Structure 1
Amino acid sequence: MTHQPDPSHVHDDQSEHVPRPPSFWRSRAGIYLIVALVLGGLLLGYEHRVHLLSSGLLIWLPLLLCVGMHFFMHGGHGGHGSGGDKT
């Protein structure tokens, strides 16, 4: 007796994987923009280091970094409570 696969469990790989355009941030222009923004931020911080270090606002930097990382890193998996389900 031969075993026939259940048609409800057979997946057509071509219908599930619709090609998406590449992300802007992974393109050449996106990488150049990221590098330019980082360099600009470093130069701005270097030029204004006296104001940044003497203002007392530097103590808030770790808190802002945590909130920023939490906000931006939850964009890829759907936020809290999804459990990783892609249905």
Structure 2
Amino acid sequence: MAHHKHDSIDPNLDEGVRRPFLSTPAGFALCVFLAVAGVFLWVEHRAHVLGALPLLLPLLICIGMHFFMHRGHGGHGGQSGDRDDR
């Protein structure tokens, strides 16, 4: 029986290895498409987004305050005060 030495240049060793999606041609094409679509959306709708910004900032501040202020008392759980925590 003959023994074969497998080197790293053997093309049969990489058959089961999958490449990440972004390094495939389809992944690259998707990234390019999303970049071009993002540029077109920004150019066409910039006035609408910037016009709504003064209205969105207070809303985002309120959401952020609600999220961070509820950390102090443990959330909305129904914990009673008579429990012994020893």
TM-score bin (small chain):
0.3 to 0.5
TM-score, normalised to structure 2, is 0.42
Q: What is the TM-score with the length of structure 1 in the denominator?
A: 0.41
In our comparison, the structure showing a higher alpha carbon Rg is: 2
